[in-house]
A and B are shown apart, each in its own frame.
Chain A
Amino acid sequence: EVQLVESGGGLEQPGGSLRLSCAISGFIFSSHGMSWVRQAPGKGLEWISYISPSGSTIYYADSVKGRFTISRDNARNSVSLQMNSLRAEDTAVYYCARRVPYYNYMDVWGRGTTVTVSS
């Protein structure tokens, strides 16, 4: 069964850091690009970052550029999101999602992990 399981969320103070992880199983991880998408409470979805299958190509939304870093470990079947200089507006459920090879959509999503930034 294809599964994406996020972890690492929690409560952090403004200016602090958190590292999210997404564990993958049930498919050949190294063949797929991966994205992180977040959803603030009561708000819509926001795409925030993408990493290619090899890790050589990375993109960020302007809202997180310079503060968040995406990475992946194909040997451990995991993708991570290092979040620094956290702000209250980063409070959200964070989802990892799989990109279909050679297509431009995300077909499988994890259940999400909740990040709360508050003093």
Chain B
Amino acid sequence: QSALTQPASVSGSPGLSITISCTGTSSDVGGYNYVSWYQQRPGTAPKLMIYDVSNRPSGVSNRFSGSKSGNTASLTISGLQAEDEADYYCNSFTSSNTWVFGGGTKLTVL
């Protein structure tokens, strides 16, 4: 049950776009369309941003989008805003009927 691989940090200027990658294996990310993404601000619980690779829950801005190719999933945030600054975690269902998270990516809005 190794953690999915995410970059430790990414940054971008307001109004621009960033992409966070999440790399797993054929036993998790590559094997299922069950990748979700969570936003976590300091001292708060994670918030669901994307589920099933590319679906947005009600209330989540359409500036957030998800995709997947092979064993790598991606979260793209367009039109960056200061409020997007947070930690982001990917998550995948696995062939062991468990879940695994990525190590997390700290997004800094410059």
Please give the residue numbers on chain A whose beta carbons come within 8 Å of chain B beta carbons, in ascending order: 35, 37, 44-47, 50, 59, 61-63, 95, 100, 103-107, 109-112
Contacts and interface: CB of A to CB of B under 8 A. Distances in A.
Contact of B52 (A50, A59, A61, A105): A105
Nearest to A93: B45
19 contacts: A44-B101, A44-B102, A45-B40, A45-B46, A50-B99, A59-B96, A59-B97, A63-B1, A95-B45, A104-B34, A104-B99, A105-B51, A105-B93, A106-B36, A106-B48, A106-B99, A107-B57, A110-B45, A111-B44
Interface string B98-110: 1111111000000
Interface of B: 1, 3, 32, 34, 36, 38, 40, 44-48, 51-52, 57, 87, 89, 91, 93, 96-104
